[in-house]
Amino acid sequence: MTEPVRTERNGAILEITLDRPKANAIDMATSQRLSTAFETFRDDPELRVAILTGAGERFFCAGWDLNAAAEGEEFESDYGAGGFGGFGELPGLTKPVVAAVNGMAVGGGFEMIMAADMVVAADHAEFFLPETGIGIIPDVGAIRLPRLLPRQLATEILIAGRRVTAAEALDWGLVNRVVPAGELMAAARELGQKVVEAAPLAVAAIIDLMKRTSHLSVEDGFSLMRSGDVATYEGMLASDDAKEGPRSFVEKRPPRWTGR
């Protein structure tokens, strides 16, 4: 039997593959396994970025497993510490997740894309939310998508189930890059390597500040950042890495980050 969640370390990159034929749909047990994988990523100081993808070329993830739902699994189940899909609600996650979208991202699969920090999509990928057609709502999408798109577009996708092509997703800023399917993982790894080359405490501070200020005005965001209460930001300012960066620039050499 195929392991539904596979992980592979590639240096400082953790690659997580969802593999549940035929559509990479997620039931409660699979979501819990994804949460465990992302908790490992969060807690391992040697890992700097995660790449999440799906097996095959047709589906990235078809969302909630409706077969499990028909058998009695409830919509509000225990999906693990990170919520549905393993990372969107994971406490303390201040490392970036790159989604490598190898095919259709449907329902909860699309919502996982909304939660990712960066997205690379194959040129045949599609994104849509069919929940209203089965009597429920895309609850995460209803919160996240209007923050990512103009209200009218978000409403059509959320309520009318409009399908979004990879090209449209790129034009609308939902994905960073669109590439031929055969180049997908190479492009995701290239993006991940850019994260690996960046100062880890600076990356953590940025991720943390983006999450903590997304609902605030610019003025309130600055106030929070400068309040002394954001540990990732204060730790970055006081770190050896904050001194190493200018020093390496003056000495004309690559920086040697220690994460301290």
Position 186 in a domain: yes
Query: Does residue 214 share a domain with residue 138?
Result: no
Is residue 131 annotated as a catalytic residue, yes or no? Answer: yes
Query: Does residue 242 share a domain with residue 184?
Result: no
Give the C-alpha separation, 12 to 9, whole Å.
7
Position 216 in a domain: yes
What pTM does this model have? 0.94
Give the C-alpha separation, 202 to 208, whole Å.
10
CA proximity to 134, closest of 63, 28, 54: 63
- Exactly one of 131, 156, 183, 190 is catalytic; which is it? 131
Query: What average pLDDT does range 35-47 have in this prediction?
Result: 97
Largest CA distance in the chain: 64
Quick one: tokens of 5? 């969640």
How large a percentage of the chain has pLDDT more than 70? 97
Position 258 in a domain: no
Give the pairing of strands 164-165 and 118-122.
unpaired
- Check: CB of residue 122 under 8 Å from CB of residue 91: no
- Exactly one of 15, 39, 111, 126 is catalytic; which is it? 111
- Quote the number of domains for the chain: 2
Is residue 251 annotated as a catalytic residue, yes or no? Answer: no
Position 259 in a domain: no
Question: Residue 54 in 3-state DSSP?
Answer: strand
Position 158 in a domain: yes
Q: What is the pLDDT of residues 120-175, one digit of tens each?
A: 999 999 999 999 998 999 999 999 999 999 999 999 999 999 999 999 999 999 99
Query: Does residue 206 share a domain with residue 111?
Result: no
Range of the domain at 170: 5-196
Domain end position, chosen among 157, 177, 196:
196
Local confidence band at 80 (pLDDT 50, 70, 90 cut-offs): very high
